[in-house]
């Protein structure tokens, strides 16, 4: 585990670009089937590994054009024991995939120059992130996620991002596991059309609960896997909002239930998406991490960066 970039994580003030839409891009653009929606097994195939590597390289190139920092996110979002077992993988295989995913990003960073580049080890929910089913306590979440998090101590990952979480207790367990492993961690909740988490809690209450259970160990919070129209109204210049430093948006305005039923990719409107993200950032200057999630690609990221520059 490398901590020499910890200050970049804790003091995230420079504009930083990230991209977590690799899964949908692989599935819909490159026609790669994802068993159990897991993309990390594709690292074992040279052809798809090359596609993934190019996505990272292209992301860094875009960040260089706009002279901003960049976060590379590992394809390990559901590389945990229960989700891995569902597609026939054991703990040893999962450990190897987690290590390999971080190693690929580290190789890309080493080759792509001196652009400020952070490596994020992605952790996802134990269950479906769009539904708050079979909820765990914070202690149960700590026990479940510790194995994956402990693996990252052996890597060059700079921090952990827990993404698309639907209730605060699971988030708190992940934060506690990261704290035990002495790894910085970021928590990203997803929200429904009303701006609340899938379990019905508000962002304010969820963040307060996680901070209370973990003594504010999380470096910051984010919102991901939602369209700006779903959560822009949640920002009303309240003190708690200062804990939210990132928004990683979907291209589509559809609800999670509608997205689950989609057989084709809804790429939305990159131009309006870029404007909406820039407007949220203009009104909430603490937000410094921006990016694309499901349904987005480099066109959406380009529009986000272009509008941020002009705002």
Binding-site positions for Zn(2+) read 225, 293-294
Rounded to 5°, angle at Cα 60 from 66 and 99: 150
Cα dihedral 295, 299, 302, 308, rounded to 10, equals: -60
- Cβ atoms 117, 158 nearer than 8 A: no
By C-alpha distance, which of 67, 159, 76 is closest to 123?
A: 76
What is the largest distance, in Å, between two alpha-carbon atoms of the chain? 49
Q: Which residues are annotated as a binding site?
A: 225, 293-294
* Contact residues for 50 (Cβ-Cβ < 8 A; gap 6+): none
Structure tokens at 44: 């074992």
Q: How far apart are CA 155 and CA 101, in angstroms?
A: 10
Give the DSSP per-residue string, 165-208.
E-SHHHHHHHHHHHHHTT--EEEEE---TTSS-TTS--HHHHHH
């Amino acid at each position: 585990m490398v901590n020499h970039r910890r200050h970049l994580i804790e003091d995230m003030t420079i504009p930083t670009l990230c991209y977590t839409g690799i899964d949908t891009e692989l599935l819909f653009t490159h026609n790669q089937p994802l068993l159990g929606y897991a993309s990390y097994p594709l690292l074992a195939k040279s052809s798809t590994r090359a596609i993934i590597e190019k996505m990272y390289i292209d992301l860094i190139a875009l960040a260089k054009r706009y002279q901003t920092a960049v976060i590379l996110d590992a394809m390990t979002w559901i590389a945990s024991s229960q989700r891995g077992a569902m597609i026939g993988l054991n703990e040893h295989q999962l450990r190897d995939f987690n290590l390999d995913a971080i190693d690929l990003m580290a190789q890309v960073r080493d080759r792509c120059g001196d652009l400020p580049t952070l490596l994020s080890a992605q952790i996802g929910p134990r269950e479906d992130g769009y539904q708050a089913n079979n909820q765990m306590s914070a202690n149960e979440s700590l026990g479940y996620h510790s194995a994956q998090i402990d693996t990252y101590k052996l890597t060059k990952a700079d921090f952990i991002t827990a993404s698309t979480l639907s209730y605060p207790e699971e988030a708190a367990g992940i934060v506690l596991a990261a704290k035990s492993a002495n790894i910085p961690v970021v928590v990203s909740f997803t929200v429904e059309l009303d701006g609340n988490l899938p379990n019905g809690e508000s962002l304010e209450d969820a963040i307060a609960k996680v901070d209370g259970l973990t003594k504010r160990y999380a470096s910051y919070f984010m919102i991901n896997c939602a369209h700006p129209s779903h959560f822009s109204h949640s920002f009303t210049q309240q003190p708690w909002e200062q804990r939210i430093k990132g928004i990683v948006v979907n291209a589509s305005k559809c609800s999670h239930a509608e997205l689950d039923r989609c057989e084709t990719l809804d790429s939305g409107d990159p131009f309006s998406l870029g404007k909406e993200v820039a407007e949220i950032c203009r009104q909430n200057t603490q937000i410094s991490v921006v990016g694309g999630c499901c349904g987005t690609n480099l066109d959406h990221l380009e529009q986000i960066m272009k509008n941020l520059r002009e705002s």
